[in-house]
Every structure is written in structure tokens, then in C-alpha cells.
């Protein structure tokens, strides 16, 4: 079984590339972030033609998450129980579903913007709500994973230059502690390092030739419980999808399971 996560940075802009990727990779389940569309605008029909059902939590031009599955889609939950709000709005950042033998969450953790910004406090609150939401499944016997754009680099090795991020979000002790707390609920990072290259980054800014210079970050993660982690047979970052015109600024992270 092949499961992946991909921040597509607008499913409308990336749809031809996404459909081609799904056709050629044999992906069974894909967790999507930054759909950047309403649920009414989501390309259900195009995906259905490839055999995918979709569970979607999306409300407009910002954020938006989805789970695509060729192996069944059940017990869908949109959002987190007790979802924190920002400016009075519960943003569409999480959706979960059972896909065949596996249950997954697709999550798009708030960016945080700046350490002193209210969005940073919202980010930490959101992590607390996520931990509470997944704790039961994480401790269960069914393979379970939380996949998505966490907007946190777990360690200094997950950024191209620590000096470039001094005083910035994504690398602060509080954010990394929130990740550690999430792992403490019974989850582990199932993508090993190094992979086929020293720095398996998943995100590269569009500006300043960051991708050609490999000035990236590893912020797209797959955190699985023990049954999920034991089933992993391979994992990789598909850097090819960050190349070329019209690419997202994130690359897919792919995990193969023997289940």
C-alpha cells in the first residue's frame, strides 16, 4: 500500500500535474494540503475518473485539506474536536478518514508567521488540539498516521542553514516541543534520514533560486503509530515534482506499507 502527503499549493493550479503523478505512481492514499479552493470547487469528478474518492475540508482560497483514496473512505472527520480559532474562524486545516486497513489524518499546521504574532500562539494551541484529537488512534492496534505540512523543522539538520532561521518561526524550541509532545502520544517519524541524499528537504521557497541551491526545509512529515511504523517498507521524497514550470513549492513524501 502506498500512502503519500503533498502540499500542492492550490489544487486548481496543480491539477494536471497531480493527476499525472497519481496515474504514474500507483498511490493508494494521498493527503493534500493547501487545496486553496472551496469544497464546491474541488475536482471530485476528475479524481473519480482515476478511481479516487475524496474527503475534503475546504472553505475558500486559503488553507484546505483532503484525503484521496482508492482503497475506501469511511469515518470521515472534518476539523479537530475543540478546533482553536484564529480571528474567530476555525480554519480548514485537518481531515481524517479510514482508508482500507489504515486510518490517516491530513493536516496543515498553522504557519505562525512571526514569534510575536498572534498566529504563533494559535499555532501552539492548534498543536495541543491535534495531540488530543489523535491520541486514541495513536495508541490503538490499527495502523494510523498523521501526514501533512507541519510547518516545523524537527531538528537543525532539517534546515539548510540554521543561521538563516535565527529568530524565525519553524525552528523555535516551543514549536519543536509541540512536535515532541505529539510524538509522545505514540507516534514516530517514519521517514528515515538520510535517504538517497544527505538532506531530504520537502519545501523550497520560490524565491532566490532556493530549489536549485537546495536551500530547503523538511517540514512535510509522516508520523505513524507503532503498527504503521512496523509496516513501512520504503519511504522517499519525490524531489522530481518540485522541478519544472508550475510546480508546488513542496515535494510529495511517499511511504510504502506492507499491510
| pLDDT per residue as tens digits for the range 82-121 | 999 999 999 999 999 999 999 999 999 999 999 999 999 9
Contact 4, 24 (CB under 8 A): no
pTM of the model: 0.97
CATH 3.90.25.10 for domain 2-257, yes or no, is no
Could you give the count of Cα atoms lying within 13 Å of 82 in the half-sphere of its Cβ?
10
User: Phi-psi bin for 20: left (phi > 0), alpha (psi -120 to 50), beta?
Assistant: alpha
Is residue 196 classed exposed, middle or buried when 0-12, 13-18 and 19+ CB atoms within 10 A define those classes?
exposed
Query: Of 158, 156, 245, which Cα lies nearest the Cα of 203?
Result: 158
CA 66 to CA 249: how far, in whole Å? 18
Tell whether the model's pLDDT for residue 193 goes beyond 90: no
**Model pLDDT for residues 22-63, shown as the tens digit of each residue:** 999 999 999 999 999 999 999 999 999 999 999 999 999 899
Give Cα separations from 42 to 11, 54, 68, 229, 247 (angstroms): 8, 9, 12, 31, 19
Query: Of 89, 92, 62, 59, which Cα lies nearest the Cα of 77?
Result: 92
Q: State residue 195's pLDDT score.
A: 55
Please provide the size of the chain in residues: 259
Q: State residue 192's pLDDT score.
A: 73
Tell whether the model's pLDDT for residue 171 goes beyond 70: yes
Q: State residue 197's pLDDT score.
A: 55
CA 113 to CA 186: how far, in whole Å? 28
Confidence of residue 175 (pLDDT cuts 50, 70, 90): very high
User: What DSSP line would sit under the chain, residue for residue?
Assistant: -EEEEEE-S-HHHHHHHHHHHHHHHT-SEEEEE---SBTTTS-HHHHHHTT-EEEEE-BSSS--EEEEESS--EEEEES-TT---BTTB--S-EEEEEETTEEEEEEE-----STTSHHHHHHHHHHHHHHHHHHHHHTSSS-EEEEEE-S--SSGGGBS-GGGGTT-TTS-HHHHHHHHHHHHTT-EE-S-SS-SSS----EE-SGGGTTTTT-EE--EEEEE-HHHHHHEEEEEE-GGGGSSTT--SB--EEEEE--
Confidence of residue 200 (pLDDT cuts 50, 70, 90): confident
Amino acid at each position: 500500500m502506498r500512502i503519500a502527503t503533498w502540499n500542492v499549493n492550490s489544487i486548481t493550479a496543480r491539477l494536471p500535474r497531480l493527476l499525472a503523478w497519481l496515474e504514474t505512481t500507483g498511490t493508494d492514499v494521498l493527503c493534500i494540503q493547501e487545496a486553496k479552493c472551496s469544497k464546491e470547487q474541488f475536482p471530485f469528478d476528475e479524481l473519480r475518473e482515476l478511481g479516487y474518492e475524496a474527503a475534503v475540508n475546504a472553505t475558500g482560497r486559503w488553507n484546505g485539506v483532503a484525503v484521496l483514496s482508492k482503497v475506501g473512505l469511511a469515518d470521515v472527520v472534518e476539523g479537530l474536536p475543540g478546533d482553536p480559532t484564529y480571528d474567530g474562524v476555525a480554519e480548514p486545516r485537518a481531515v481524517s478518514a479510514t482508508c482500507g486497513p489504515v486510518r490517516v489524518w491530513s493536516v496543515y499546521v498553522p504557519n505562525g508567521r512571526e514569534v510575536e504574532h498572534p498566529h504563533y500562539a494559535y499555532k501552539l494551541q492548534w498543536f495541543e488540539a491535534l495531540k488530543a484529537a489523535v491520541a486514541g488512534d495513536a495508541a490503538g492496534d490499527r495502523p494510523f498516521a498523521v501526514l501533512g505540512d507541519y510547518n516545523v523543522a524537527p531538528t537543525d539538520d532539517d534546515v539548510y542553514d540554521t543561521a538563516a532561521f535565527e529568530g524565525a518561526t519553524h525552528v523555535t524550541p516551543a514549536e519543536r516541543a509541540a512536535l515532541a509532545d505529539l510524538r509522545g502520544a505514540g507516534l514516530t517519524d517514519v521517514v528515515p534520514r538520510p535517504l538517497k541524499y544527505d538532506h531530504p528537504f520537502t519545501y523550497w521557497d520560490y524565491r532566490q533560486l532556493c530549489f536549485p541551491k537546495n536551500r530547503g526545509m523538511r517540514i512535510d512529515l509522516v508520523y505513524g503509530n507503532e503498527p504503521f511504523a512496523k509496516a513501512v517498507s520504503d519511504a522517499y521524497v519525490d524531489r522530481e515534482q518540485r522541478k519544472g514550470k508550475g510546480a508546488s513549492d513542496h515535494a510529495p513524501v511517499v511511504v510504502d506499507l506492507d499491510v
